[in-house]
Amino acid sequence: MKNALCVSRLEELEDNVFSEETPPFKNLREVLNFPHLNVLDYICQRNHAKKARLLQPNLGYSTIQEEYQELIKNIRLSPEPLRSEHPRFIFGYFKDDPASLVLIEKLKESQKEIQKQLQTESFLKDCVRAFAGIDIIIDQDDSLAKALTAISKDQWNHLVSKRLCYTLMEEGYSLDDQQAFLEGFRETNATRELLDFRCAWPHFSENLQRALNNLKEANLFFSRLRNQAHLKELIPNSLFIESSENEADQKNDRASKVLLDYVVYNPKEEVLREVKGEAVLLSDTIPGFSQGVRQMRVGETARLYIHPSLAYGVETVSEQGIYLIADVTLRKVEEFLKDSAPLPIPKNLSYFLDPDWLSQSMEKRRLAMKDRGKELRCFFKKSPLLNMEEIESQMRMHLSDVSREVRITEREKELLNRLYWSICTKN
């Protein structure tokens, strides 16, 4: 039970590492010190819940980081060959736990015994007898083979080409994406680039352009803020505060844990999060928010303007490249740092505006789509029922007619599932 609970908790933390950010808090990947992703998160379209829950540390831990590191230090995955050979036994356990170590040795023995039993002709009958207490007669007819011969090879080629086109069109891949996919599908060389799979997610180009437009809008907006006399610029071009009470001797630059009322808005001033009376560790919030709060005095209400370089930047699964506005009331400072907090350094987002970098990103996208085409060709050519050249030809015909709607019936889905199964089980 202890193993199950702790592994479940570890999975919960890791699942939320890539969850949608909860303004004004940092993405948990950053909080937990996960490695920087080489490819921007915005290429990965994920349907996260709009009401992302901010995880709190369990009893005995002061922070999420502390709890996560403790779990990582003590939890182990089941060893080889339990994880790689059939039947697989994949589970987590506490290292050096005597009961778990005994269980692992027993499972290794059971795995070997099951592998022997799988080789016997009576294995299925023996299993049914053991579980249900009855004897069965197994029909020797190969229903899968019958299903595969239910239609001709030409029909199979047509069906597979239609399925691939349906996926490309239904998921919103652009014409350039489709052409790159076909280029890869045409290649007989099975060597793949093995690029980051997220580069092949749908809507890459649209997301790239949206992020670029948002960042340009933010830069223009903040350049205009500098001309507004009622605002104080806390960090050049990145953080402004609007308040009648932000004298230097009134700030709380050593504040660590504070009690706040706040509302966070996007550039359209739509509410992203509104909370009253929340105790907040400023180290868990985005740099622009924490620095702004430290420039306030207790009882003060102020409006913060936070550039994306001090918010979520473009490496985010939320809206990329947007600035944030926050109305904040500082109710109380509950804990203090020993020394003043250092001034945050804005992220350098200039590379995102570099035409060469954008061109390189689009080339990564093209190669990823080409790689995806290669991957599926390698998969389907394992079936003797299919002709890759014929499938490619029919795909080009389908995709060239943008007005033509491609549909897959339930019967066709069933046939395709049987085809996939036959390829997977025989190769």
Asked if residue 316 and residue 264 are part of one domain, the reply reads yes
Asked if residue 47 and residue 90 are part of one domain, the reply reads yes
pLDDT at 142: 59
Asked if residue 277 and residue 159 are part of one domain, the reply reads no
Asked if residue 321 and residue 370 are part of one domain, the reply reads no
Q: Indicate the number of domains in the chain.
A: 3
pLDDT at 15: 60
Asked if residue 336 and residue 227 are part of one domain, the reply reads yes
Structural domain of residue 157, as residue ranges? 143-203+355-426
Report the CATH number at residue 316: 3.10.50.40
**Domain-ending residue, one of 350, 378, 408:** 350
- 127 is a domain residue: no
pLDDT at 122: 78
- 367 is a domain residue: yes
- 227 is a domain residue: yes
Asked if residue 386 and residue 343 are part of one domain, the reply reads no
Asked if residue 36 and residue 169 are part of one domain, the reply reads no
Asked if residue 286 and residue 195 are part of one domain, the reply reads no
Three-state SS sequence of the chain: CHHHHHHHHHHHHHHHHHCCCCCCECCHHHHCCCCCCCCCHHHCCCCCCCCCCCCCCCCCCCCHHHHHHHHHHHEEECCCCCCCCCCCCCCEEECCCHHHHHHHHHHHHHHHHHHHHHCCCCHHHHHHHHHHCCCCCCCCCCHHHHHHCCCCHHHHHHHHHHHHHHHHHHCCCCHHHHHHHHHHHHCCCCCCCCCCHHHHCCCHHHHHHHHHHHHHHHHHHHHHHCCCCCCEEEECCCEEEECCCCCHHHCCCCEEEEEEEEEEECCCCCEEEEEEEEEEEHHHECHHHHHHHHCCCCCCEEEEEECHHHCCCCCCCCCCCCCEEEEEEEEEEEEECCCCCCCCCCCCCHHHHCHHHHHHHHHHHHHHHHHHHHHHHHHHCCCCCCCHHHHHHHHHHHHHCCCCCCCCCHHHHHHHHHHHHHHHHHC
Asked if residue 110 and residue 13 are part of one domain, the reply reads yes
- 236 is a domain residue: yes
**Domain-ending residue, one of 80, 101, 118:** 118
Asked if residue 225 and residue 306 are part of one domain, the reply reads yes
- 334 is a domain residue: yes
- 128 is a domain residue: no
- 327 is a domain residue: yes
**Domain-ending residue, one of 55, 84, 118:** 118
pLDDT in tens, the chain (427 residues): 666 777 777 666 666 554 556 889 886 555 444 433 333 333 333 333 333 345 677 777 777 667 777 887 888 888 888 887 878 888 888 888 888 889 999 999 998 888 888 777 777 788 888 888 888 766 555 565 666 777 899 999 999 999 999 999 888 888 899 999 999 999 887 666 656 666 777 777 788 888 999 999 999 999 999 999 999 999 999 999 998 765 545 578 899 999 999 999 999 999 999 999 999 999 989 999 999 999 999 999 999 999 999 999 887 767 889 999 999 999 999 999 999 899 999 999 999 899 998 898 889 889 989 999 998 999 999 999 999 999 999 999 988 886 777 889 998 998 899 898 888 766 5
- 243 is a domain residue: yes
pLDDT at 96: 83
